[in-house]
Homo-oligomer: A and B are copies of this chain.
């Protein structure tokens, strides 16, 4: 039985285990084997492991201090299988980045030199650069805070999460096709789409093209999901993310619909008025409506809404200071695009929260280099 130190940290609406790279190396087995065993990935209930048996609670990040200029911490994000002995290393997770920042501050991966500490992070999966800024009044790291995010009533330490130079992060271009609007083949003819790459590649449609307002409940939006997942494949091909004979990705690009603000109720029943936000959005997560919005998708939305000619720009309320309030099923999430130096695309900032749940020594059943 291997031993492995880890911290269970809530980042936003995800639960992530954070491990130190050196601890992982010290076990002598590869990270895939270690995580599959620690989470009991083989079991759909993950009953013999630390995983929570849902996509938002079967996540890990492996962190290390960085020697790269301008980077404090590098992390590899892992989506650990549920009833599936595979670890997916292809994506980034903004919620886990939030957790990584809190971990870094508490575990001395960055020095605390003032009342606020910024952790400069590199996501090694996608090469995305992020910052996490955490209050450290009196040069102290705190476990408690009163920050909240839509999707949970729990409170945590405020983390201002920044996506640095997010435009073209996957394809090299904000608009991979060179157009602000393209046309894909919908179920009843051509359908307009904006194909955007910032934070993550995203294919954004107007809600009205599906007969929707963009303010639907999760159950109402579910009816559009099969068509959107079909369009995802076309979008992947158009953006150069996949070739004809590649297997179909159920995760890339992100797909969803946007609309002008209108009154709606969040999933927990809270009323949201048309003046409470700037852009209505309903995103798809794999094959189901996303309960809120992934943070990398929020970055794509913020970038799209600031790019003239896109469908998001067409329907979003324009603000003077780069703030964009996204009306999601869980509530309003505010993204802010701020100008960056040296020709980089605007940094997108999101107000998030994180909380350390537990510090643990995991007993990991690895036998002969494989999950037991």
Residues of A within 8 A of B (CB): 1, 6, 8, 10, 13-15, 40, 42-43, 45-50, 52-54, 56-57, 143-144, 152-156, 355-363, 365, 372
Q: Are B13 and A357 in contact (CB under 8 A)?
A: no
Q: A43-B152, A360-B361 are in contact. List 7 more A-B contacts (CB 8 A).
A: A1-B143, A1-B144, A6-B358, A13-B47, A155-B365, A359-B361, A359-B363
Please, how many angstroms separate the alpha-carbon atoms of A160 and B372 in the complex? Answer: 22
Please, how many angstroms separate the alpha-carbon atoms of A36 and B56 in the complex? Answer: 21
Given A1-B143, A43-B152, A365-B144, also A48-B10 (CB < 8 A): yes
16 contacts between A and B (CB under 8 A): A1-B143, A1-B144, A15-B47, A45-B54, A45-B57, A47-B57, A47-B152, A47-B154, A48-B152, A48-B355, A52-B52, A143-B363, A154-B365, A355-B363, A358-B363, A359-B360
Q: Are A361 and B358 in contact (CB under 8 A)?
A: yes
The 5 closest A-B pairs by CB, nearest first: A48-B154, A360-B360, A358-B360, A1-B143, A358-B362
Q: How far is the CB of A49 from chain B (nearest CB, A)?
A: 6
> Which B residues are CB-close (under 8 A) to A156?
48
> Which B residues are CB-close (under 8 A) to A1?
143-144
Q: Are B50 and A153 in contact (CB under 8 A)?
A: no
Please, how many angstroms separate the alpha-carbon atoms of A363 and B360 in the complex? Answer: 11
Q: Are B53 and A153 in contact (CB under 8 A)?
A: no
Please, how many angstroms separate the alpha-carbon atoms of A13 and B40 in the complex? Answer: 13
Please, how many angstroms separate the alpha-carbon atoms of A151 and B22 in the complex? Answer: 35
| Complex: chain B residue closest to A43, CB-CB | B152
Please, how many angstroms separate the alpha-carbon atoms of A49 and B153 in the complex? Answer: 12
Q: How far is the CB of A185 from chain B (nearest CB, A)?
A: 37
| Complex: chain B residue closest to A10, CB-CB | B48
| Most-contacted residue by chain B among A14, A47, A357 (CB, 10 A) | A47
Please, how many angstroms separate the alpha-carbon atoms of A52 and B46 in the complex? Answer: 9
Q: Which of B8, B15, B53, B372 contacts A54 (CB 8 A)?
A: B53
Q: How far is the CB of A82 from chain B (nearest CB, A)?
A: 12
> Which B residues are CB-close (under 8 A) to A14?
47
Please, how many angstroms separate the alpha-carbon atoms of A324 and B8 in the complex? Answer: 42
> Which B residues are CB-close (under 8 A) to A356?
363
Q: Are B53 and A45 in contact (CB under 8 A)?
A: no
> Which B residues are CB-close (under 8 A) to A45?
54, 56-57, 152
> Which B residues are CB-close (under 8 A) to A355?
48, 363, 365
> Which B residues are CB-close (under 8 A) to A152?
43, 45, 47-48
Q: Are A50 and B358 in contact (CB under 8 A)?
A: yes
Please, how many angstroms separate the alpha-carbon atoms of A6 and B8 in the complex? Answer: 14
Q: How far is the CB of A7 from chain B (nearest CB, A)?
A: 9
Given A152-B43, A154-B365, also A48-B359 (CB < 8 A): no
Q: How far is the CB of A37 from chain B (nearest CB, A)?
A: 10
Q: Are B49 and A357 in contact (CB under 8 A)?
A: yes
| Most-contacted residue by chain B among A15, A361, A362 (CB, 10 A) | A15
